[in-house]
Amino acid sequence: MDVSLFIILLGLIRTSDEEYFISPLPQHLAARHNYSAPSGHHAHVIYKRSAEQHVHADGTTRDNNHPNHHDQHHHHHHDDHGHHHHHHHHDYQHGKLQRQHFCGRRKQYTPKPPSEDLLVMPDEFEQPSRSKRSPISSNSVGGLNVETLVVADRKLLEKHGRDNITTYVLTVMNMVSSLFKDGTIGTDINIVVVSLLLLEQDPLGLSITHHADQSLNSFCQWQSGLVDKSGKRHDHAILLTGLDICSWKNEPCDTLGFAPISGMCSKYRSCTINEDTGLGLAFTIAHESGHNFGMIHDGEGNPCRKAEGNIMSPTLAGNNGVFSWSACSRQYLNRFLGTAQASCLGDEPRPVGQYKYPQQLPGQLYDAHTQCKWQFGAKARLCSLDFVKWCRRGQCVKFGDRGPQAVDGQWSSWSEWSDCSRTCGGGVMHRERSCSSPR
């Protein structure tokens, strides 16, 4: 059907039974069907989302002759019911390439899709009936627990060193945990690291290359066979790589991460690959794990604006919103939690050896010079300022503002005994300690 409006609308209409897209009717189609709108009006077309693949297949909504028409890349994903979603990656706006970037690094999550479907695995879960709900609740006391296996590959170990890699990975995972604790997600989610594997060489059956799609496929298959001593599996597996990965070829490119949509809790699809970029790696992990929770990019098939720069934006952006989740992400998550597949998140984490997480903030552990080198290369250095500031949640603030929380001092070690106050007869020796630990 078509409608005529004074303003231009582009978005998604969702009912209880169906989803519909509304968009301006291209001029060449209006001319083909002899449709003439009154002055000041714009013709629009409304069509079912389920019919979208047929609309694009016959080319009826695409103007290939327009010199400034934006290119449309198709992403083929599978939801938890085995259905295809066709998402379009829009990199152009008003005919010009628009790329948001994080701290100057122009890196995209999936700048160009592979030609074939990514990671097609048999679905292990039957579609629940409308009357059934998952046994877990998004309001569960104590929250939902994602028992997580973290794997650091050989290149990451070479980059950070054997002595520093554990502290680095746990610092990043601490940041990931805080992102999933942000109130905008609408659910209490605990990211619990139950195992950390440091690979000094590629184990048998695991192949990690620049090709993100193939590497993810290999990693997902490999991790599916890992169990703990009691035979229990993790809920989710995260691969951290020191390679510059690319979503569709075995060469470096702009891909930051890769993940199956709605794969969480699946034996073969609850897994992601993430390229190391320094502390910004935490945002990549949160983004890719969001995909595994069923979240789609903001602004792609949903009314949320990618320009807001939330965690599920298609690109890493320097916006303040990168620490929060959009309303669309929250809805996608709630939809996933309403399926039987999500039941693995309802149990208590199995007891494991306690990892000692760093007590200091990431910016205290790794100064700005170090972060610059991770992000931009060995020759990068921080621009010097006349005053001391640091970055907190995307804001450049004075070091004393919202800085480290005060820590109550503890007793220091005792000093050595002093000399006796007298050389003969009754005298006094003393030693001291102070309330100065930590300093």
Instruction: List residues forming the annotated binding site for Zn(2+).
Output: 287, 291, 297
Active site residue 251: no
Which tokens is 205 given? Answer: 């059956």
Confirm if 221 and 339 have CB atoms less than 8 A apart: no
DSSP string of 291-333?
A: HHTT---TTSSSSS-GGG--TTSSB---SGGGGS--HHHHHHH
Work out the number of other CB atoms within 10 angstroms of the CB of residue 6: 8
Catalytic residue among 52, 147, 275, 288: 288
List Cβ<8 Å contacts ≥24 apart for 46-50: 46/1, 46/2, 46/3, 46/13, 46/20, 46/21, 46/22, 47/20, 47/21, 48/18, 48/19, 48/20, 48/21, 49/12, 49/18, 49/19, 49/20, 49/21, 49/301, 50/18, 50/19
Q: Residue 342 in 3-state DSSP?
A: helix
Going by the annotation, the residues of the binding site are 287, 291, 297
Distance, C-alpha 425 to centroid of its chain = 74
**Please, where are the H alpha helices in 161-275?**
165-180, 212-223
Provide the annotated active-site residues: 288
